[in-house]
Structure 1
């Protein structure tokens, strides 16, 4: 079953009752203009076990320790946002798998050649997926992207990822004057940042569920980054976010703010339709297959990560 994503962008009180998330909206309860019959419906309950991601995007949200404990016990990722409504914090369970110690040792013991081969697979798939997005969004097959994907070597020593990225961003949003992919750059960079943050949480959650350490990457190794492995595995999934953002730009224009409507459209990322292993699957389910296959690579059962292909 696909887990649900809950977004809270208004004042709310979140508590626990009978393993159900109880949601109370004080703005509704205290309103003098709403009928009593409507106020009686201001309390909503959701089964904790159905939740995969919870986004807290308001300073007046109160959440009990019991709710946090129950969410984490059920492998739910909790995202907190800053004053600009950008995800700034991520809370994950410490123990997500019954054989976690064994899996940690397999991950820690992975050889450098294996990690380089896995990174080669990751970048090849990412570039191929970027090429497919350009074909759909721009309406042109970029043969150079396919060539670069096929030329990626173990560890990507020639950094074809960067070469492909420069070409990709130049062509994907070619109609937006002055656009470059920059975290602090002009719109739609803000939408991309938000979408990637949601994607990162999905991947980090799946890694914990698979009994792996999100901190220890196969390529990324920034000492200040607690989610290096999540950043590695999300690379082939980024083009799905890019295509979603491209569609929003086409629909609403380039100069977009992160309104509640836009954020609600970005929160469909876990349910995006992807193709993995020859079958269609929601993105969140596909990510779980990817992280599970990575563990099998670490323990020597298989040699390839299962990634989505457009």
Structure 2
């Protein structure tokens, strides 16, 4: 059971938390320049000032939304083995109306001709599937499979276009900021990337910062490392600016504390109980963890 808030141990623990929070804020205030990428925004904190720049343009979202349409239809229809239920019919009818409405808006979005044609292909194929399914009141799974596989080449081209938009947009902003920094500030520059759990491995912004800041770049296969770099950090499921920068300061403070207490810089990057748990579990189950 948890300790009561009035228990002297709880009060003592809160004093530790308060002291830690105060020190973390002090660390953040004295750090060199730091950049956070949160959704469509890049935020630079340097010398007590805050600067903003775009991380993506609207084109990124055009490619992303169109890509989601065939995926949504597959998710909606793949489980169906019988006639459409009323909820599915309503959702398909809604999608039909939205696709029709969106399809007529692309000519004003300034896409290159090849990219524009690709969006029309995807939406036209999606609309044709919706019409056929609603007319038949059911979906043949072989037709659904043929539909989604036919879309994959265009979906992957959209993914490439979205990635290029983000990388080129970020690079322009970051290089502009770096040109205004001293050599020492560029050497101290750190980055934190807000990412959801599923998009964390190979995250576009994480890969970019790893390359531009000279960290170990693992490309699209990036996963959690036992000895990660020190200048690029993923902030999983944290899309709040203050929380993202606070997390970065936490890692810096913990690295210093770990070295001072344990003589191991990454010791506090894992659960304080982790080493003991591994030893105890090995005894309990008579086995060793996989390397």
When the two structures are superposed, what TM-score results if normalisation uses the length of structure 1?
0.23
Q: Which has the higher contact order (CA 8 A, sep 6+)?
A: 2
Greater fraction strand:
1
Could you say which structure has the larger radius of gyration?
2
Greater fraction helix:
2
When the two structures are superposed, what TM-score results if normalisation uses the length of structure 2?
0.24
